Structure 1
Amino acid sequence: MANPAAQTALGPMIVVAADQYESVPLLHDPWAAQLLPATGRFVAALTRWSPVRSALKSATDRKISGGWASFLCRKRYIDDRLREDIAKGVDAVVILGAGYDTRAFRLPELAGIPLCEVDLPSNTARKAAALHRTFGRIPPAVTLLPVDFETDDLAEELQCAGFGPQRRTFYVWEAVTQYLTEPAVRQTLAYLAQAEPGSRLAFTFVRDDFLAGWHTYGADGARRQFVVKRGLWRFGLQPDDVAPLLAEYGWREVDQVGPAEYADRYLRPAGRDAAVSEIERAVYAERIS
């Protein structure tokens, strides 16, 4: 039976594909629609008409207030940090939970850098099919690695694929941690504790007070669907708990961002006044020991 979490990879990339039709996209992504399955490509094509985009955005924001802008801003933030570190020198990139993301193909700075996309087996198979359909092959610098974070040995799988911790690596862990149990999150962090000093990590997390129901931040619909009914979102953190958790595994929090930072850095410069969800934040960290 397919992992239910594998079915959640589609929505955020439809948002990115739709944003390409805005006058000033928050991130340039010519491949967002092409790598989607047929249904996703059809929906993305419809969003070229602004009434369709508006309707889809409204539906998204009714479930998660500010969710539409949040999906876009978190990707832009991670892209920016990745670009900065590539300019300083990165030996490899590992994307943990890649889904339909096109980061490996949309960022020219990544050309020639070994990159590994880790995801659930079902998502990896779909991604491979999409790459063959779009490019005729899996690009030679990209490795697709099927891994279940709950049951597989991430360290062993990455080592066998040639992406062991001996190289200075930029790790991307976007929109994944909430789907894991705490033991699985800690198991991944234990692997990252072996990373070469100077490695970098960009990841997102959902607020623990949202998962617990203490504050819903205008995302009651999402909590009912993903937490209460389906039990898909299981792990969360409070913002102040991130740095101590990372420190346990030899990482230092460098930056943590949320709605205020996204508005200042991305939305206002693009002439947008959209709200950004409060339930998710992004973190950038460095391996120090």
Structure 2
Amino acid sequence: MGLFLRRKDDGPLPEPTAAMSAMCRLIEQLEPDSRRLFDDPLLEGLLGDYARYRMMDPWGGASVIGRIEGTAPGYYGLLVSRTCFIDDVLRDALERGTTQVAIIGAGFDTRAHRIPGIEHAHVFELDLPHMIEYKRDAVASTLGSLPEHVTYASIDLESLEAAHALTDAGVDPAEPTMVICEDVTQYLSDIALERLLTSVSSLGLGTDLVLTYVLKSTVRSHDGLAQAKGLVHGGPPWRLGLYPAEAARLLAEHGLTLITDISADEYRRRYPQLARRKVKVSPEEHTVVASA
């Protein structure tokens, strides 16, 4: 399947895994209003001509989903239900008075532009330097200018500086903050995850965290969802997996209280559209919500 994006100039290319996730979210937009899990009107503008061309083909979305399901059953359903769940958690946080949102590994995340009320919060998007450059260019091209409520910052989670990444980017520890770390931890080393949680815990009381992790058994066996990395060329290897008890322990060690840890069964309960559409959801990744 290869990269889903291509540039007409010599600008930076996005991470292929970010492109893969974005393509799945774009496919979800082909569903009727009553069936799709979320609206992402900005995404098509951020994607390149190749992605838009594929989606003009009425069979384009179905063929991509078929390839995904043949390689990693339930991956598409996992990705779109996870997106919807994190949207819901973020909406709730904004309604409770969250004034800052930090998105780690932002990729093609468009929540800064499509979640009601988020324009009144300060959003920090953090990613690798080349991905941030691509994202800034794509947003400016699509919207005509960069939004004033969004700050873009480079981050290398494997560096020593990652333990201070959020405050270095400008996140104010005195403000209620939600940190979103979606589809990131499987690419990290153990120490990088420790630094990430240290950075989150440094924000103190009033901080909420949403974080996804792949089960350790999946990463070790390279079965099931782990094969999703075979859907893109040039993506980084998976390095880190957790079990639910390990995730809870790590959070507690960093002063974070686990609120919920969910996977496929809860997604199916929350979003009955999945069953009506006969969409499978892989059980091999979990999403945790925690608070300081």
Under a length normalisation based on structure 1, what TM-score does the superposition of the two structures give? 0.89
Q: Which residue number corresponds to residue 100 of structure 2?
A: 92
CA-CA distance at 1:83 after TM superposition: 0.5
Supply the AA of the counterpart residue of 1:259: A
Q: Which residue number corresponds to residue 68 of structure 1?
A: 76
In structure 2, the gaps of 5 or more residues are: 1-11
Indicate yes or no: 2:202 matched with 1:194. Answer: yes
Q: Which residue number corresponds to residue 53 of structure 2?
A: 42
Cα gap change, 1:219 to 1:115, in 2 (>3 Å): closer
Aligned 1:150-165 pairs, distance under 5 A? 150-151=158-159, 153-154=161-162, 156-165=164-173
Partner Cα separation in structure 1 for residue 14 and residue 219 of structure 2: 16
Indicate yes or no: 2:58 matched with 1:31. Answer: no
Cα gap change, 1:167 to 1:147, in 2 (>3 Å): same
Q: Which residue number corresponds to residue 276 of structure 1?
A: 281
Supply the AA of the counterpart residue of 1:115: V
2:163/2:195 contact within 8 Å kept: no
Percent sequence identity over aligned pairs = 31
2:166/2:200 contact within 8 Å kept: no
Cα gap change, 1:255 to 1:4, in 2 (>3 Å): farther
Indicate yes or no: 2:264 matched with 1:259. Answer: yes
Under a length normalisation based on structure 2, what TM-score does the superposition of the two structures give? 0.88
Secondary structure of the residue aligned to 1:34 is helix
Please identify, of 116-125 and 162-171, the stretch whose mean Cα deviation from structure 2 is larger: 162-171
CA-CA distance at 1:156 after TM superposition: 4.5
CA-CA distance at 1:43 after TM superposition: 2.8
Cα gap change, 1:269 to 1:285, in 2 (>3 Å): same
Q: How many residues align?
A: 278
Cα gap change, 1:34 to 1:223, in 2 (>3 Å): closer
CA-CA distance at 1:237 after TM superposition: 0.3
Partner Cα separation in structure 1 for residue 150 and residue 289 of structure 2: 23
- CA deviations over 1:138-167 (Å, ceiling 9, x no partner): 100001111111126235453343214332
CA-CA distance at 1:85 after TM superposition: 1.1
Cα gap change, 1:113 to 1:223, in 2 (>3 Å): closer
Indicate yes or no: 2:79 matched with 1:79. Answer: no
CA RMSD of aligned residues (A): 2.3
Partner Cα separation in structure 2 for residue 54 and residue 179 of structure 1: 28
Secondary structure of the residue aligned to 1:143 is strand
Supply the AA of the counterpart residue of 1:247: A
Partner Cα separation in structure 1 for residue 126 and residue 117 of structure 2: 20
In structure 1, the gaps of 5 or more residues are: none
Q: Paired residue for 1:245, among 237, 242, 250? A: 250
